[in-house]
Amino acid sequence: MSVSGVPMRVHRRALLVGSVLLILSAVVALPLATAQTAATGPVVVMKTSLGEIRIQLDQDKAPVSVKNFLAYVNKKHYDGTVFHRVISTFMIQGGGFTAAMEKKPTGQPIKNEAQNGLKNVRGSVAMARTADPNSATCQFFINVIDNPGLDYPKPDGHGYAVFGQVVAGMDVVDKIKAVAVTTTNGMQNVPVTPVVIESVRLASQ
């Protein structure tokens, strides 16, 4: 269920999520893109061990992904999970493992909505998946740079579905991307000190 690059270089990375190998290719970091049009959907507050991140969800352009994400939020699935994959020049990924690196159970996978027109720009939030385009469940990632190589139809003919945008707390995202990482149980880019997602709630709650 997964998805960094040095600006202006082409990369090919094999990303391991749990025991699933995901191949991403031709991820090109271009100069900072203009921010995408602000969404009008609900806002969630993600409290982490390094600070708070506010994410606006685009339920108009990504209704399936937003409904799925909020279902996990309402079940408090994300409470106590971690950002288990941190690549400082690419993205930070979380939502699927505990601090002990135990994989949490998930619901059914959802349809890939990568053709919704939303782009993998810095601060955007997208569904993580395996090589199967319709395999996303609970895991998500936050782009820490512009990653046009993840936009439909790249990198594999399917793209990665963006469903939200960080509207506050990018300084926290930047703190997370800067943590020291290691290899744990065959998984690369795991933070040495767990970055815990303490809770995710709708802003009105």
CATH number, position 198: 2.40.100.10
* DSSP state letter for 63: H
**Mean predicted confidence (pLDDT) in 59-72:** 98
Task: List the beta bridge partners of residue 97.
Answer: 103
By DSSP bridging, strand 91-98 and strand 81-87 are antiparallel
pLDDT tens sequence across 88-126: 999 999 999 999 999 999 999 999 999 999 999 999 999
By residue range, what is the domain housing residue 117? Answer: 10-29+39-202
Residue 1 lies in a domain: no
Residue 189 lies in a domain: yes
Residue 4 lies in a domain: no
Residue 129 lies in a domain: yes
Q: Number of structural domains, the chain? A: 1
Name the percent of the chain in helix, strand, coil, to the closest 5: 15, 40, 50
Q: What is the pTM of this model?
A: 0.83
Confidence of residue 40 (pLDDT cuts 50, 70, 90): confident
Q: Is the pLDDT of residue 140 over 80?
A: yes
What integer pLDDT is reported at residue 60 of this predicted model?
Answer: 97
Residue 2 lies in a domain: no
Residue 72 lies in a domain: yes
Residue 70 lies in a domain: yes
Rounded distance between C-alpha atoms, residue 126 and residue 141, angstroms: 5
**Mean predicted confidence (pLDDT) in 156-160:** 97
Residue 81 lies in a domain: yes
Q: Is the pLDDT of residue 1 over 50?
A: no
